[in-house]
Amino acid sequence: MSSGRHLPREYRYGKTEQENRMQQAFAAMQLECMRDRIVCFMCGRHFKNPTPDTYPHNCMLCPANFDKPGMYCMPDLMLFNGGTLACVFVNGLVHDKDRVRRKDIRIKSTLQTFGYVVFIVKNETIDNSPVSALRGLAYAIWQASANEGLYHLMHRGEKELPGFAQQ
């Protein structure tokens, strides 16, 4: 989960190997998957980062300037499955830290409020999965992004359910 709040604006965030592998898995399954999207938390809409690899200064779709923390987020991957928009976050170990976890929960619930379906994939899951398993995971995420029953089945037993969009 990327956010610029603790970093200088010009900080260039990297795309991780795990994000790339997950993107490749969606592509291999011919599932449309987008990078470099920004979700504005003022208007709830999303747009392509006009300057990929740097943090945005403002929303392209509403008058919001991103001059305070928490005004937007940058999902690692976004999926468009029919009418459903899903955000996929590929998370490393830093997301297990309490402070980051609290921030993540806030981001997830804001995304849900705007109707996005949220998925979290851990780096270690990707690291430990052969290509075929990752393709299966990509397909499962795609299916679950437009099927609430499947979504809940997929997350059954998890302490912090990422959350299906509130319709």
Position 42 contacts Zn ion (CB under 5 A) = yes
Among residues 5, 27, 53, 62, which is the contact residue for Zn ion, using CB under 5 A? 62
At closest approach, how far in Å is the CB of 44 from Zn ion? 7
* Contact partners, residue 124, CB within 8 Å, separation at least 6: 93
Among 1-9, 23-31, 64-72, 105-113, the segment contacting Zn ion (CB under 5 A): 64-72
Contact in structure between 73 and 86 (CB atoms under 8 Å): no
Distance CA 125, CA 91 (A): 10
Smallest distance from Zn ion to CB 151, Å: 26
Specify the residue for token string 């806030």. 106
| Rounded Cα–Cα distance for residues 111 and 21 (Å) | 24
Q: Is 60 in the site for Zn ion (CB under 5 A)?
A: no
- Which residue's CB is nearer to Zn ion, number 1 or number 73? 73
Cα 90 to Cα 68, 73, 83, 127, 156: the distances in Å are 24, 13, 23, 11, 19
40 or 90: CB nearest Zn ion: 40
Closest distance to Zn ion from the beta carbon of 5 (Å): 17
Shortest Å distance, C-beta 149 to Zn ion: 32
111 touches Zn ion by CB under 5 A = no
Of 64 and 100, the one with the shorter C-beta distance to Zn ion is 64
Taking CA atoms, 95 is separated from 25, 63, 81, 105, 117, in Å, by 23, 31, 27, 10, 19
For residues 75 and 129, which CB has a smaller minimum distance to Zn ion in the complex? 75
Question: Rule CB under 5 A: which residues touch Zn ion?
Answer: 40, 42-43, 59, 61-62, 64
